[in-house]
C-alpha cells in the first residue's frame, strides 16, 4: 500500500498548527506536508515531527510574503532576483526541517520570456541545491488564474529541457483532472517523471473517495507498479472536522 502523508496546510485546520502533527499521527499518517512553514519556529516543528515519528515530505517555495500578490516568481522575468533570494530562504528551512522535497512555484506569467525564465531559474536552483530534491507542479487555471505552469505536457517539456537529476514532476490528481480530464491517461504519459503524488476528490477536491475517480484502483496500481514515493492527501475536508472524513484511508487495503 502507498505511504500516505497529510497536507497540514489543508487538513486538520480546526486545530492550531502545531497540534495538527499530533492529529495526523493519531489518524495513521506516516508523513506530512506543510506548504508554508515559515511562520512557525523550526525547533517547534522538529519537536512535533519527532514526538510523532513523522517525516516532512514537502514545503513550498517561495515563502508566503506575497499578501494579496502572486504565488511564486520562478517564471516571472522581472522577479528573477526575488526568486533566487526566496529560494535560498526556503532551502534553509528545508535543510533545518529535513524536508524531502521543495516545490518551486512558477507564479503568474505567459509567453516565451516566461518559459525561458522558468527554465533558467530551475537550472540555477537545481545546481545551487544539488542535494535537495525539487518538484514543479502544473496548477489549473480555474483555481489559480494566470499561473504559468498550467499544463502537464508543458511541465514534461521543461523537465526534459532542464534535465536535472534532482528535479521531478509533482502529480496532483485533482489538477490533472481539471487540466486534462482523463487522470489515468495523464498518469500513463508522465509517470516516468513523477517524484511526488497528491490526491483530492474528483470533482470537488474533498476526500479522495467516491466521486468520479476510482481511487482504490489508483492506489492498487501504484502498488502493482512499484511506486516508492509518498501519496499526499491534499484536499478540503467535507465535514466539520478532518477526522470525520478519514474513512477513505481504509482504501489502502483494497
Q: Is the pLDDT of residue 242 over 50?
A: yes
CATH number, domain with residue 65:
3.20.20.150
The enclosing H or E element of 102 equals: strand 101-104
Report the domain count for the chain: 1
Q: Which of 33, 57, 137, 207 is catalytic?
A: 137
Q: Under DSSP, is residue 158 helix (H, G, I), strand (E, B) or coil?
A: helix
Give tens-digit pLDDT for 152-175.
999 999 999 999 999 999 999 999
Please tell me the predicted confidence (pLDDT) of residue 69: 60
Q: What is the pTM of this model?
A: 0.95
Longest dimension (CA), the chain: 49
Rounded to a whole number of angstroms, the distance between the first and last alpha carbons of the chain is 9
113 is catalytic: no
**Cell of residue 171, nine digits:** 502529480
Of 58, 52, 114, 53, the closest CA to residue 83 belongs to 114
Burial label for 63, CB within 10 Å (0-12, 13-18, 19+), is middle
157 is catalytic: no
**Cell of residue 168, nine digits:** 521531478
Q: In whole angstroms, what is the distance from residue 82 CA to residue 214 CA?
A: 41
Give tens-digit pLDDT for 9-20.
999 999 999 999
How many CA atoms within 13 Å lie on the side-chain side of 74? Answer: 28
Query: Would you mind telling me the total number of residues written for the chain in this entry?
Result: 254
- The boundaries of the domain holding residue 87 are 3-253
Amino acid at each position: 500500500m502507498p505511504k500516505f502523508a497529510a497536507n497540514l496546510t489543508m487538513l486538520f485546520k480546526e486545530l492550531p498548527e502545531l497540534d495538527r502533527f499530533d492529529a495526523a499521527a493519531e489518524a495513521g499518517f506516516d508523513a506530512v506536508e506543510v506548504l508554508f512553514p515559515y511562520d512557525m519556529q523550526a525547533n517547534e516543528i522538529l519537536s512535533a515531527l519527532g514526538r510523532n515519528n513523522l517525516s516532512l515530505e514537502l514545503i513550498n517555495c517561495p515563502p508566503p510574503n506575497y499578501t494579496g500578490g502572486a504565488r511564486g516568481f520562478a517564471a516571472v522575468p522581472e522577479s528573477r532576483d526575488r526568486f533566487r533570494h526566496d529560494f535560498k530562504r526556503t532551502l534553509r528551512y528545508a535543510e533545518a526541517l529535513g524536508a524531502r522535497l521543495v516545490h518551486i512555484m512558477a507564479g503568474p506569467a505567459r509567453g516565451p520570456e516566461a518559459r525561458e525564465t522558468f527554465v533558467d531559474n530551475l537550472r540555477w536552483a537545481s545546481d545551487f541545491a544539488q542535494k535537495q530534491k525539487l518538484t514543479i507542479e502544473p496548477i489549473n487555471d480555474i483555481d489559480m488564474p494566470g499561473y504559468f505552469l498550467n499544463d502537464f505536457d508543458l511541465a514534461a517539456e521543461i523537465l526534459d529541457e532542464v534535465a536535472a537529476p534532482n528535479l521531478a514532476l509533482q502529480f496532483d490528481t485533482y489538477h490533472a483532472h481539471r487540466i486534462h480530464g482523463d487522470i489515468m491517461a495523464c498518469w500513463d504519459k508522465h509517470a516516468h517523471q513523477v517524484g511526488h503524488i497528491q490526491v483530492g476528490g474528483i470533482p470537488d477536491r474533498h476526500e479522495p473517495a467516491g466521486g468520479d475517480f476510482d481511487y482504490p484502483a489508483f492506489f492498487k496500481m501504484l502498488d502493482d507498479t512499484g511506486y516508492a514515493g509518498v501519496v499526499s492527501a491534499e484536499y478540503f475536508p467535507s465535514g466539520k472536522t478532518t477526522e470525520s472524513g478519514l474513512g477513505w484511508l481504509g482504501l489502502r487495503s483494497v
